[in-house]
Amino acid sequence: MTQARTTPSVEEQAINPLREGLRLERTAPPCAMVIFGGGGDLAKRKLMPALYQLALNRLLPAEFTVLGFARSPLSDEEFRRTMRAAVGEFSRTQPLREPVWDSFSQGLFYLSGNLDDPQAYQRIAARLDELDRTRGTCGNRLFYLATPPSAFPVIVQRLGEAGLTQGPQPQSWVRIVIEKPFGRDLKTAIELNHTVRSVFQERQVYRIDHYLGKETVQNLLAFRFSNGLWEPVWNRQYIDHVQITVAESVGIENRASYYEEAGALRDMVQSHMFQLLALVAMEPPVSFEADTVRDEKVKVLRAIRPIPEDRFHDFTVRGQYGAGWIGGREAPAYRDEPGVARDSPRETYAALKLFIDNWRWADTPFYLRHGKRLPKRVTEVAIQFKRAPHLLFAESGGEQLEPNLLLVRIQPDEGISLRFAAKVPGPTMHLRSVHMDFLYGSAFLVDAPDAYERLLLDCMLGDATLFTRNDEAEQAWAYVTRLLEGWERATPDFPNYEAGAWGPEEADRFLERDGRRWRVP
């Protein structure tokens, strides 16, 4: 008897070409993208340049349409002129290709209103219906929340009240993109997820973390799971420890109101760095599909060993920068930045030692560090292997050799480097550490796409692999919230490192107690 086939859902149809791990480059379907906060910094610096680049690469259909929504009263033409200036300044492809922009800009429209006004959402609905008729967007809608996080709940609720969570046609789709942060602790993350899930289905929700759109971050998956060389040694038997560094030379850049609420742990560690940790430590998924990949990431977060309340000092370090010098320029202390309280206890540096209690990683430390006003901007994952069990060449410099190191550089100079021992040319057996380097720029001779290009296209294609699921966000917050609560029980002695230094001295002692040291990028 022949088994009946059920008709796949719209989401399944969108993902179907990605089966068996194949990610096919294809044009997005017709759709209308509503950008809440359409006149803001994110839209100008990231979203519109990324959309223009997709159009330039012929990955957007002619019907693609943007409806910007914000409080400022603008006409469609004024909105187009504003976005043209933004793309002209921030696009990675210069100069602007006028024929491409002229065609792309015909699909840019604008609507003004207040985010909490129910009538504004009725106007959005009417405008979208009109664009379906005039632009052929087929009832497909992508709502992008490029607003402060405090506005997320009200936007979601108003969309639900206006009946905008479902498309006007049975085959049309509706999705919503939410920028990080997804809450500011476990309680608010759960509340936000509850609000979103009360209006949208989880498969419609795309929680975006732009780090996962970076080429080198994605290459962690390709590097690990498409090469037979690494999997046999990717475990506690061969790896001594892992260091994940996200260093920034800049300060808070006029974001005092945000940073005074967030701090380094909330701003970077809970999101970007935990994502990197999960990609390094996860088990191989059964396929390269959204839920199978995210299932493995959640398992990693659940396996992170809790820190005992009386041992926070052994597993965490926090810091705040004082005045100093970076690149020959004087840098003010954090507490002297505009808008920062003179006695602010907010950390601008955080270092953690984590253990993942599972079969692969038992007792292998993962060291994470992030800080503002450090000597240079760099993001990297350093995987240090254990030393050879027996030194045959101790008299030839073998004892001074550094252990093998696999370095994944995420920014700048994206690439992968392997450090190993080699004989120095000459009549004697003298060893030295050397590096084997792979650089994206020189290997492929093309510019790496901006993270938002990849992620926006994935949203339109219905591929959620590189987006954060609700349980993933909550699990990361569950761990970080415990750290925040532990820190609140003690008054920090700030500032404790100079701008231009690699963090507090305690961070160095932090690793020295384990017989290790931080890698100098």
Which residues are designated catalytic? 272
Please, which residues have CB within 8 angstroms of residue 310's CB and are 6 or more apart in sequence?
none
How far apart are alpha carbons 229 and 448 in whole angstroms?
26
H/E/C letters for each residue in 81-139?
Answer: HHHHHHHHHHCCCCCCCHHHHHHHHCCEEEEECCCCCHHHHHHHHHHHHHHHHHHCCCC
The DSSP secondary structure of 474-496, one letter per residue, reads HHHHHHHHHHHHHHHTS------
* Phi, psi (degrees; rounded to nearest 5) at 410: -95, -40
How far apart are alpha carbons 95 and 370 in whole angstroms?
35
Do residues 25 and 59 make contact, with C-beta atoms less than 8 angstroms apart?
yes
How far apart are alpha carbons 150 and 162 in whole angstroms?
20
The DSSP secondary structure of 218-255, one letter per residue, reads HHHHHHHHS-TTTGGGSSTTTEEEEEEEEE-SS--TT-
* Span between the terminal Cα atoms of the chain, in Å: 64
Q: List 121's β-bridge partners, or say none.
A: none
Length, in residues, of the chain: 521
